[in-house]
Amino acid sequence: MVALAVAILLPALSALLCYLIKKAPARNIIIVCSTLIMFAVAGVFTSLLFKSGGKISIDLEGLPLDIGWIVKILDLLLMIYVIYIGFKLKKSLIVLLASLQLIPLVLFEVFAGVHEPATAFVIDYLSLVMILLVSIIGPIISVFAIGYMKEHEHHSHLKVSRQPRFFLIIFVFLGAMNGLVMTNNLLWMYFFWEVTTLCSFLLIAHDGNAESIKNATRAILINLFGGMAFLAAIIIIGLAMHTLSVEDILNANSAAGLLPLALGLLCLAGFTKSAQFPFQSWLLGAMVAPTPVSALLHSSTMVKAGVYLVVRLAPAFNGTVLGKLVAVVGGFTFVAGSAIAISQSNGKRVLAYSTIANLGLIICCAGIGSYVAIGAAVLLMIFHAVSKGLLFLCVGTIEQGIGSRNIEDMQGLVKKMPFTAVITVIGMISMLLPPFGVLLTKWLAIESAVNLPLVLIMIIIGSACTVVFWAKWIGIILTMPYETEHKTEELSFSVKSALSFMFLGVLAASIGIVPLFNSLIAPYITALSLGDNTALIAGNGGIWLANINNAVYGGFASVLLFIVLLVLIIAIPYFMRRTRPESIRPPYLCGENINNDVKGLEFTSPLEKAEQAVVRNYYLAGAFGEDKLTLWTNLVAGAIILIMFGVVIIL
Amino acid sequence: MMITDNALLNNIILAVVTIIVAPFLGGLLSGIDRKISARMQNRFGPPIFQPFFDVFKLLGKERIAVNQTQMVYAFGYLFFAVASLIMLVLKQDLLMLMFVLAFSNVSIIMGAMSVRSPYSKIGAQREIIQMMSYEPVLLLMVVGVYLTTKSFMIDSIFTHGQPLLYNLPLVFLAFIFILTIKLRKSPFDFSTSHHGHQELIKGLTTEFSGPQLAVIEVTHWYELVLLMGLIVLFFAKPLWVGILIALVCYFIEMVIDNISARVTWKWMLKASWIVGIGAAMTNIIWLYLK
């Protein structure tokens, strides 16, 4: 109970302090302290949940003040503030979408008279996974932001620092995420949902230039649309089932009455928040924000709220046509996002498309809905959050180091920024290759999609595309410049410690997959009653799939492969030292090499002229370019969602 | 796999034997390949053991590098190819085997990209496209195997009643099609070439020399054995039929190699996605409906 209050309110308190205290050193101390307290809270929740046997229900009846009313009032204030933003930006659409939520919300509260659930908070293992992600990755990113924002404001020549406001929003954001994943009351979840929408708007618009405001407006419009779907679902559920408890919805007979429609609307809300096609544009636009914001949006907060909702509801639509269509939406986003990522040369955009694709895969797994698939979905939520959090921090650091986020400019980064480059590469490998976790979940996704050919082919083609864009990028970073001297890299302490910490997190999650699975995910999926005969087991150094007779039908001892990888990693310094500088030769060019400088890429052509050799990556824009694919993929994705609603309404 | 101690010992012995025997088989096969190819071109050709002589010679050469990390990538290529071969002989998860094999391939691509030579880089880019072309077909092949045997473990193929080919004829054809790409044979040899006198020099391996090249050559042998092993899976019972068919397939690959000219990447991507995925998917849909 206390931990609960701390988890939600402490970030809010830190937020306030960060805002009020204008002195940077004092603020930094507060940020570091809140970071440590949030780690502690995550630890407390973990031990509480283990002791309580997998579920903590918290009743708020009998408190001196009625929290339900406070939430309601805050909800109204929030919507009024959004309408104010709409007026300020002169965007009538924002005003319209917010009013369309404000008015039904008030009417619903006043006239419907639906009883709010007595147990306001229910925390199970899925919530715990999210709490851990939010309360560990979120604060690390805030620590990174200390160093990053200083540099950022230095570049943008601000007179008055806007950091107090920045950290205010960041911490409110984290508190709202914690609330969102713990509450059992749909109305409260809706409130936290809208808080994250508002926070993301404010953060994207943080730099205050025309582009960032334009993109922030797009983000809030799309997310308000999702919020509308959320509210519509609440009203339907409230009127038809007379409950607002998430638990009751999961236990209800899913084919009954209006519930499928409500579930469809909730999934739609999840799609907007998780930037599924055709709603992907807001997340791509969010790139204009300072890098810590992107890292936060992409890893532990915001987009994870969407997939959390869909995964949470997965048992309710398991085995229905709706479930299959949700899988198709996710699968389609996975393949479309991965394909477009091939054509991108802007590092952050590649990361963004990869996020969209991976969220698609999570939603796809939730839609498939077998034990194996839901296990894969939760695993991917974890692995994606740590890896992508790390990668965004890396790209941010690289951008401040070399002044560009273009992949082509990252040639030879190993020599320019050795520390960051190595961490970045391992982060990317963890997104792409075995034995790391993300690949493991891709493998689980394929093995659980075998009975849905359409979804299957999308995942397979999508994963072929992922190899392309990651391999190209890793190759560029690892390109060794010609000279042998090493430069040391100067990074601020906060940046360096945040990077190292996230990096260790990535390694620990993948190497420790067996205990991770057994302690957090196995108890969650075995508690579900899904009615399929597959099981996911961890042990013997890996993950195994078994059927009803306990016969293993698939599996992989991932830990063994780490040993092979370890040998390779140890081999790198050995060979680096063993290669004597005099045995290093320039590469072969189409003639005599002219100079042995950094580029080493000039040669004498047959006409006795000095020619420079320039190589760039293939981007295959003619086949996979944004302008070629975006329109069509959006149309197809829109059609799939319409089909989804067509089906649930007929049901 | 859930294994007992005794089985564990057997597995280790099997793995060690594989590591030792596979390169001999692979080297021999590529020696035969060179001999037959030479005869097809009206040349006398090198002795069958020439690949081994080559590797020994490469091992003895001066250690020249373009940068300090190349050897690591060459070893990455080797280790993960060996790992996937071991997964095959220990009858592990077929899908994961494909991913481990992909790691091996990504490693050599990284090696080629780590140097600043245009030839090597373009070779690497082309190799990535080749991966994109054949990867879906390999994965679909695994799915086909699952739909037939209801398991992803290679083990189940051997306990399955009839040869896979009965159920997976089109998947097999698709696999043979992409085998040409995987073996980097003509008409899909554009990430590297047999001769150093083409537009790409040697593409992917242009900047590898001496011992590094030897490691890469040995990896090719392991890979060759692995791919032949995958063909054998389609005819698992009795094993000798499978081996015979695998050799026949390899011969066909040689013929194709010698009679065709290189195509462009667009053509390859289209062909392997339309023909390869198309054929495999057709097969899978009928299995699904059955």
CA–CA gap between residue A533 and residue A549 (Å, rounded):
9
Asked if the model's pLDDT at residue A445 lies above 90, the reply is yes
Under DSSP, the state recorded for A407 is G
pLDDT value for A34 = 87
pLDDT value for A589 = 74
Count of pairs with CB atoms under 8 A, one residue in A, one in B? 198
Q: Are strands A552-556 and A610-612 parallel, antiparallel or unpaired?
A: unpaired
H helix runs in chain B, sequence order: 5-40, 50-59, 70-89, 94-113, 118-149, 154-159, 169-182, 210-233, 239-259, 265-271, 278-289
When pLDDT is cut at 50, 70 and 90, the band that residue A563 belongs to is confident
Q: Are strands A535-539 and A602-604 parallel, antiparallel or unpaired?
A: unpaired
Nearest by CB to A554, which of B95, B113, B277? Answer: B95
Rg (CA), chain A: 25
SS3 A589: strand
Is the Cβ pair B62, A583 closer than 8 Å?
A: yes
Chain B positions in Cβ-Cβ contact with residue A589 (cut-off 8 Å): 117-118
CA atoms within 13 A on the CB side of A327: 32
- Tens digit of each residue's pLDDT (9 = 90 or more) over A467-511: 999 999 998 888 877 655 566 677 888 888 999 999 999 999 988
- Tens digit of each residue's pLDDT (9 = 90 or more) over A248-302: 888 876 666 788 899 999 999 999 999 998 999 999 998 888 889 988 888 888 8
CA–CA gap between residue A323 and residue A328 (Å, rounded):
9
Question: Which positions of chain B have pLDDT values less than 70?
Answer: 1-4, 194-198
pLDDT value for A582 = 67
Count the neighbouring beta carbons within 10 Å of the beta carbon of residue A612: 10
Nearest by CB to B96, which of A434, A463, A564? Answer: A434
CA–CA gap between residue A172 and residue A179 (Å, rounded):
11
CA–CA gap between residue B231 and residue B141 (Å, rounded):
11
CA–CA gap between residue A14 and residue A17 (Å, rounded):
5
**Does B102 lie at the interface with A, CB-CB under 8 angstroms?**
yes
> Which residue out of A575, A580, A601 would a mutagenesis test of the B interface target, given it has the greatest number of B Cβ atoms within 10 Å?
A575
CA–CA gap between residue A144 and residue A140 (Å, rounded):
6
Chain A positions in Cβ-Cβ contact with residue B124 (cut-off 8 Å): 475
Comparing A533 with A256, the larger pLDDT belongs to A533
Give mean pLDDT, residues A378-401: 92
Give mean pLDDT, residues A531-550: 80
Structure tokens at B243: 């081996």
**Does B140 lie at the interface with A, CB-CB under 8 angstroms?**
yes
> Which residue out of B125, B182, B287 would a mutagenesis test of the A interface target, given it has the greatest number of A Cβ atoms within 10 Å?
B125
On average, the pLDDT of chain A sits at: 86
Chain A, residues 562-601, CB within 8 A of chain B, namely: 564, 567-568, 571-572, 575-576, 579, 583-589, 599-601
**Does B286 lie at the interface with A, CB-CB under 8 angstroms?**
no
Under DSSP, the state recorded for A531 is -
pLDDT value for A199 = 93
Q: Could you tell me what percent of chain A has a pLDDT over 90?
A: 35
Q: Compare all CA atoms of chain B with the CA of A622 and give the residue at the minimum distance.
A: B266
pLDDT value for A65 = 66
When pLDDT is cut at 50, 70 and 90, the band that residue A379 belongs to is very high
Q: Which of A131, A15, A164, A68 is nearest to A382 (CA)?
A: A131
pLDDT value for A460 = 93
SS3 A269: helix
B101 neighbors B84 (Cβ within 8 angstroms): yes
Nearest by CB to B65, which of A434, A571, A584? Answer: A584
Which of A194-203, A235-244, A567-576, B39-48 has the least mean pLDDT?
A567-576
CA–CA gap between residue A410 and residue B63 (Å, rounded):
29
The type of residue at A384 is H
Is the Cβ pair A553, B152 closer than 8 Å?
A: yes
pLDDT value for B1 = 45
**Does B54 lie at the interface with A, CB-CB under 8 angstroms?**
no
pLDDT value for A62 = 65
Is the Cβ pair B132, A464 closer than 8 Å?
A: yes
SS3 A343: coil
CA–CA gap between residue A555 and residue A444 (Å, rounded):
9
Is the Cβ pair A446, B95 closer than 8 Å?
A: yes
Structure tokens at A395: 């790209």
When pLDDT is cut at 50, 70 and 90, the band that residue A180 belongs to is very high
Give mean pLDDT, residues A184-200: 92
pLDDT value for A486 = 60
- Tens digit of each residue's pLDDT (9 = 90 or more) over A296-338: 888 888 899 999 999 999 988 888 889 999 999 999 999 999 9
Q: Compare all CA atoms of chain B with the CA of A445 and give the residue at the minimum distance.
A: B95
**Does A436 lie at the interface with B, CB-CB under 8 angstroms?**
no
Q: Which of B250, B132, B126 is nearest to B189 (CA)?
A: B126
pLDDT value for B192 = 76
Nearest by CB to A479, which of B79, B116, B153? Answer: B116
CA–CA gap between residue B199 and residue B197 (Å, rounded):
7
> Which residue out of B92, B94, B108, B114 would a mutagenesis test of the A interface target, given it has the greatest number of A Cβ atoms within 10 Å?
B114
Adjacent-strand bridge partners of A56: A123
DSSP string, B120-173: HHHHHHHHHHHHHHHHHHHHHHHHHHHHHHS-SBHHHHHHSSS-GGGT-HHHHH
Is the Cβ pair A471, B109 closer than 8 Å?
A: yes
H helix runs in A21-91, sequence order: 24-52, 67-89
Asked if the model's pLDDT at residue A145 lies above 60, the reply is yes
**What ipTM does this complex have?**
0.91
Q: Respond yes or no on whether the N-terminal peptide bond of residue A435 is cis (omega within 30° of 0).
A: yes
Q: Which of B64, B80, B67 is nearest to B114 (CA)?
A: B67
Is the Cβ pair B117, A572 closer than 8 Å?
A: no
pLDDT value for A215 = 93
B154 neighbors B94 (Cβ within 8 angstroms): yes
CA–CA gap between residue A144 and residue A138 (Å, rounded):
10
Asked if the model's pLDDT at residue A66 lies above 70, the reply is yes
Sorted by sequence, the CB contacts under 8 Å of residue A645 that are 6+ apart come out as: A261, A264, A268
Sorted by sequence, the CB contacts under 8 Å of residue B16 that are 6+ apart come out as: none
Which of A141-145, A151-155, A590-594 has the least mean pLDDT?
A590-594
**Does B153 lie at the interface with A, CB-CB under 8 angstroms?**
yes
Asked if the model's pLDDT at residue A598 lies above 50, the reply is no
Residue whose token pair is 């992909």: B102
| Long-range Cβ contact pairs of A544-550 (< 8 A, separation 24 or more) | A544/B2, A545/A372, A545/A444, A545/A447, A545/B152, A547/B150
The type of residue at A273 is K
Under DSSP, the state recorded for A161 is -
- Tens digit of each residue's pLDDT (9 = 90 or more) over A219-228: 999 999 999 9
Under DSSP, the state recorded for B235 is T
Adjacent-strand bridge partners of A542: A539
Is the Cβ pair A585, B75 closer than 8 Å?
A: no
Chain A positions in Cβ-Cβ contact with residue B152 (cut-off 8 Å): 447, 545, 553-555
Nearest by CB to A468, which of B62, B71, B128? Answer: B128
> Which residue out of B93, B150, B199, B204 would a mutagenesis test of the A interface target, given it has the greatest number of A Cβ atoms within 10 Å?
B93
pLDDT value for A4 = 75
